[in-house]
Every structure is written in structure tokens, then in C-alpha cells.
Amino acid sequence: MPASLDDFQVISTIGTGSYGTCKKICRKKDGKILVWKEMEYGSMTEAEKQMLVSEVNLLRELHHQHIVKYYDRIIDRTKAMIYIIMEYCEGGDLATLIAANKKNGESITEDFAWKILIQTTLALKECHRRKNGQAVLHRDLKPANVFLDKDSNVKLGDFGLARVLHSESSFAQTYVGTPYYMSPELVNNLSYNEKSDIWALGCMMYELCALSPPFTASNQSELNRKIRLGDFPRLPLKYSIELDMIIRKMIQVEVAQRPSIGSILADPLVQKRREALECNVVSTRTNSSDNEKHDLDNIEKLRNNLIAKMRQLELKEKELESREKSVALREQIAEEKLKRAMSLLDQVRHRDDYSTTSQTAVKVTLPDNLSDASLKRQVTFHPQLFDKENLRQKIPHTGLVNPLQTKSALPYNNTSLENQLGFAGNKIIHNNLLHVR
């Protein structure tokens, strides 16, 4: 399914040039950071439009580690705009690097210069390969079109667009503002060819090291004159004569004397530097692989430690759960014991209350129909007691002294009699009470 503008979110504007505007975007489905270039094609002729589409399709077929990867294109016919979506390069471009070095009074190292030269040459080799009998030329090689990834490796971009966006007769307008990389054949209105890319590469490498183009002038005519002559100062002395010589080979006025891509890569010095560069890349990859392996080992250790800790945690949780169950069981048993104790205590209290109530009823409670008079009428004395009672009642009439009042006058003990009376009387009262009940 073709991509649409709604599939992306614009993050910021990177820059604006004669081709249009370059913006940093985010692909919504996976969050991948890319860039797109917006170009207005409304003013182009139909032939130019067809060339633009054909060229973009061609660029999408170029796959190389040192060429910016093209992902897709989106055509907005309502606005007559085309959006070319490509790889985002975190390291910026060489134009920004040159400007920063100028400002800070710094310069690149020679090793970095060789790295840029070799990697850009390899990218151009991929561009110059024949396709259907026609070479794919860059035509606009300059620092602003050479990008760097996060590891400062070259990513060549924007090749071929200058030829598409501008006709052959007005191609020089591409260099307005930056005409310093124009080759002698362009100055002489000759056709552009592969060797023109080589000239531009030499000029770019010179400026990258010297922080100034090899040919400068206050006007176009003076600049054209210097370009035709081909004279320029040596590189700063901090750079080797070998680097200066390989750059001078590329900036040869005569096209025939200018080396091809194959000749540059076949140069013994370039081969030596390329081998060293590739060894560094392999070493970097090895170190990176070792670091990744070390990181993986650390991750594995952390994973094992985490698993062990999780197991310990599980054991502690089980132990805690067991303790909680034990405590809960103990609490349940204690609760049951407490309930039984409270039940027993209530039973004891109930019995005590019942006993106290019963005793109180025996002592103080009498039947309602039982009075003192009826109690007295029901009392019956023993015959002996009756005779003695009568005797006691008769004695005062005879004028005799009452034997109960004179202890010595009676033949028996008064205390013994009272005891007998008390015992017998209590027994008689008790029997009568039972009879009443």
C-alpha cells in the first residue's frame, strides 16, 4: 500500500535550498526517524516531470552503505508537490562541519580526510555504474550533499536531482551562491560527464582540509579564469604530501588527465589507506560485537540474578503465607477457647444466681394463706409438755411458787428442758410447715 502524508508526522525543518525544503519526520507506525524533501513541480514541463519521476525511481534502486537510502515518494497533486522520503543522518553534513571548524579555528585529522575521500569515492563508484547503457551521475557533489551517520561514515545524497530539476542550458544556475566546484568543462559550456564528479570531489576534499575552496574570486569571471588555469595553493602543512597529491590528481583541468573512479581506488596509497580503514571498521565491529556480547552476558547475569531473587521472594511469600495461616489457626483456636470459657463462666454465674435466689426464697418466703394465728393453732405439744404446761398454769392458783422461777425447787434441770422444748418445737413447726405446703 503506497505511503501517504498522514503516515508521517513532521518534527522540524532541517534546511531549505533551491530544490525545496528538507524536513525531519517520524513514521507513525514504528516511530522511525526519517527525512523528506518537498519539491514543487507545478512550474515544470511535462517532460521535466516525467524525468523527475524516472530519476526518483532510479535513485530508489541504488543500495549502498555510503549512499543515503531512499524509502518512498509521495505525490500531492492538489498542491503539485512531491515528497522524497529518505534515511535520516544524525551526523549532519560536511558543510556544517566545515563552518563549525572555521568558526572554532579547528581542522579535521588526516585519517578522517582519507576516510571521507575513500567512502565518497566508493559511493560515486556505485552511482557511476552503467544502467541500460547510461551512467548515473551525481552532478551536484558538494559538502552540503555529503552526510554523516552517527559513526561519522559517509552517506552521499541528492545525486541526480540537479539534472532533473534544471535543463542543460540553465544547469549553471544550480551553482548560484556556491559556484566554486564548477569544473572547467562546465565553465566552457561543455557537457557534464563522470570526470566532472571527480573534479567536484577533489574540490570538496580540498575545502574540507583547508576550510576554503581551491578557487575563490570576487566575481564569476575571475572565478572562471582561475578554474580554467587550475592553480591553487598546497594543503596546510599538517596534511601529508600524499593527501595533497591525490587531491591534485582529481583537480586536473584536462579531463583526460583526470583519474576515473577506478583509477583512484587502484592507487597504491589509496589501497593502503582503504585496507587500514577497513581494518579499523572490522576492529570497531569486533569491539562492538565484543561489547554487545559483554552486554548480553551482563544482561544474562542480571536475568539470572533476577530469577534467583524472584524465587527467593516466592519462597518468602510462601513462608509468610504459611505463617499467616498458622497465626489465623491459632487465633481461631484461641477464639474458640475464649468462647468456651465465657460459656462456662456464664453457667457458673447462672448457678450462683439460682442458688442465692433459692436460699432467699426458703428464708423469707411464706405462703400467702399462712398466718401466725393459723400457725399457732396447728402447733401440737407432746403430752408430757402439755401436762407440765398445765402444771405451770395451776401453780399460781395454789399460791405456790412457780417451779420455773426457782431452779432448786424442781427435780429436773431447766436448761435440759428448754433444750428439749426447743428441739421438739422446731421439729413440730417443721412438720407443720411441710403439711401446710
* Reduced 3-state DSSP string for 256-271: HHCCCHHHHHHCHHHH
Q: Is pLDDT of 399 > 80?
A: no
Least confident of 56-70, 230-244, 325-339: 56-70
Q: Is pLDDT of 181 > 80?
A: yes
Q: How far apart are the C-alpha atoms of 88 and 147, rounded to whole Å?
A: 9
1-88 — its CATH code? 3.30.200.20
Mean pLDDT on 36-51: 81
Mean pLDDT on 211-235: 94
**41 or 241, higher pLDDT:** 241
CB-based contacts of 56-64 (< 8 A; 24+ apart in sequence)? 56/82, 56/84, 58/131, 58/136, 58/160, 59/84, 59/159, 59/160, 61/131, 62/126, 62/127, 62/136, 64/122, 64/123, 64/126
In the chain, domain spans = 1-88, 91-266
Percentage above 90 pLDDT, the chain: 38
Q: Is pLDDT of 169 > 50?
A: no
What residue has cell string 499467616? 324
State the chain's mean pLDDT as an integer. 78
- pLDDT per position as a tens digit, 71-111: 998 989 898 899 999 999 999 999 999 999 999 999 999 99
Q: Is pLDDT of 422 > 70?
A: no
Q: Is pLDDT of 321 > 50?
A: yes
**313 or 373, higher pLDDT:** 313
Computed over its alpha carbons, how large is the radius of gyration of the chain?
62
Quote the distance between the C-alpha of residue 19 and its chain's center.
40
Compute CA distances 99 → 151, 208, 247, 296, whole Å: 20, 10, 21, 40
- Residue whose C-alpha is closest to residue 143's, from 281, 17, 35: 17
| pLDDT attached to residue 92 | 92
Triad 382, 426, 386: Cα angle to 5°: 20
Compute CA distances 30 → 27, 34, 348, 433, whole Å: 6, 11, 81, 110
140 is a catalytic site residue: yes
Percentage above 70 pLDDT, the chain: 70
Q: Which DSSP symbol is given to 93?
A: B
The one catalytic residue among 93, 140, 158, 197: 140
Least confident of 66-80, 251-265, 267-281, 410-424: 410-424
Structural fold of domain 91-266: Transferase(Phosphotransferase); domain 1 (1.10.510)
Q: How far apart are the C-alpha atoms of 90 and 147, rounded to whole Å?
A: 9
Mean pLDDT on 4-13: 93
Which positions ≥6 away from 271 have C-beta within 8 Å?
265
**335 or 433, higher pLDDT:** 335
pTM: 0.61
What residue has cell string 518468602? 316
Q: Is pLDDT of 208 > 90?
A: yes
Mean pLDDT on 20-47: 89
Mean pLDDT on 412-431: 50
